[in-house]
Amino acid sequence: MSFPRPNLRPPAADRRAHRVAHHGDAYDDPYFWLRDPGYPKVETPEILDYLRAENAYFEAAMEPVTPEVEAIFSEIKGRLKDDDASVPWVEGGYEYRWAFEAGADYRQWFRRKVGAGDWTLIFDEPAEARGKPFFRLGGFAVSPCARYLAYSVDDSGSERFRLFVRDLDTGATTDLGQAETSGEIVWDAGSDALFVVLLTEEWRPAHVVRVRLADKAATTIYQEASTGFFIHITESADKAYLLIRTADHVTSEYRTLKKGMGGAAEIWRKREAGHDYSLDHDGGGWLVLSNREETNFSLYRAAGPDDWSLILAGSNDRYLLSVHPFQTFMAVMARDAGLDQILIDSSEGWQALPFGEAAYEVSPGHNPEYDQQHFRFGYSSMVTPASVFDLDIASGARTLRKEQEIPSGYDKSAYVSERIMVVARDGAEVPVSLVYRKDWQKSGKLHLYGYGAYGLGMSPSFSPARLSLLDRGFAYAIAHVRGGDEKGRAWYEAGKLKARTNAFHDFVDVSRALIDRGYSTEGRISISGGSAGGELMGAVLNEAGDVYGAAVLHVPFVDVLNTMLDADLPLTPMEWPEWGNPLNSAEDYAHIKSYCPYTNLAAGAYPAIMVTGGLNDPRVTYWEPAKYVAKLRTLKDDDTPLIMKINMEAGHGGKSGRYDRYREVAEEYAFVAAALG
Which CATH number covers residue 211?
2.130.10.120
CA distances from 452 to 223, 457, 499, 530 (A): 32, 7, 12, 10
Residue 184 located in a structural domain: yes
User: What span, in angstroms and rounded, lies between the C-alpha atoms of 469 and 673?
Assistant: 8
Whether the full predicted model's pTM is greater than 0.85, yes or no, is: yes
Q: Are residues 356 and 294 in the same domain?
A: yes
Which of 535, 588, 543, 568 lies closest to 25 in space, CA to CA?
588
- Using the 3D structure, point to which of 341, 371, 404 is the last residue of a domain: 404
Least confident of 356-360, 510-514, 591-595: 356-360
Burial 302-314, CB ≥16 within 10 A → b, else e = beeeeebeebbeb
Q: Are residues 267 and 315 in the same domain?
A: no
User: What span, in angstroms and rounded, lies between the C-alpha atoms of 151 and 100?
Assistant: 19
Residue 5's pLDDT is 46
Cis peptide before 6 (omega within 30 of 0): yes
Residue 82 located in a structural domain: no
Residues with a known catalytic role: 531, 617, 652
Q: Are residues 477 and 610 in the same domain?
A: yes
Q: Are residues 441 and 384 in the same domain?
A: no
Residue 8's pLDDT is 86
Range of the domain at 617: 19-77+409-676
The average pLDDT across 444-457 equals 95
| Residue range 108-121, pLDDT digits in tens | 999 999 988 899 99
Q: Are residues 476 and 622 in the same domain?
A: yes
Q: Are residues 653 and 533 in the same domain?
A: yes
| Residue range 40-69, pLDDT digits in tens | 899 999 999 999 999 999 999 999 999 999
The average pLDDT across 570-597 equals 95
Q: Are residues 266 and 355 in the same domain?
A: no
Residue 11 located in a structural domain: no
Position 1 pLDDT exceeds 50: no
Could you give phi then psi for residue 323, rounded to 5 degrees? -120, 140
| Residue range 150-173, pLDDT digits in tens | 999 999 888 899 999 999 999 999
pLDDT band at 3 (very low <50, low <70, confident <90, very high): very low
Q: Are residues 667 and 531 in the same domain?
A: yes
Could you give phi then psi for residue 129, rounded to 5 degrees? -85, -10
Least confident of 214-218, 292-296, 343-347, 408-412: 343-347
Contacts of 7 by beta carbon, 8 Å cutoff, 6+ apart? none
- What percent of the chain clears pLDDT 90, i.e. is strictly above it? 89
| Residue range 252-275, pLDDT digits in tens | 999 999 999 888 899 999 999 999
- Using the 3D structure, point to which of 247, 275, 303 is the last residue of a domain: 275
Q: Are residues 543 and 621 in the same domain?
A: yes
| Residue range 453-492, pLDDT digits in tens | 999 999 999 999 999 999 999 999 999 999 999 999 999 9
Domain total for the chain? Answer: 3
Residue 591 located in a structural domain: yes
User: What span, in angstroms and rounded, lies between the C-alpha atoms of 289 and 312?
Assistant: 9
- β-pair partners for 430: 422
Residue 415's pLDDT is 97
Position 310 pLDDT exceeds 60: yes
Q: Are residues 535 and 658 in the same domain?
A: yes
Residue 12 located in a structural domain: no
Residue 141 located in a structural domain: yes
Q: Are residues 371 and 466 in the same domain?
A: no
CA distances from 342 to 108, 324, 351, 419 (A): 31, 10, 8, 20
- Looking at every residue in the chain, the average pLDDT score rounds to 94
CATH number of the domain where residue 483 is located: 3.40.50.1820
The total of other beta-carbon atoms located within 10 Å of residue 113's CB is 12
Residue 428 located in a structural domain: yes
| Residue range 528-542, pLDDT digits in tens | 999 999 999 999 999
- Using the 3D structure, point to which of 275, 299, 331 is the last residue of a domain: 275
Q: Are residues 627 and 506 in the same domain?
A: yes
Residue 301's pLDDT is 97
Residue 90 located in a structural domain: no
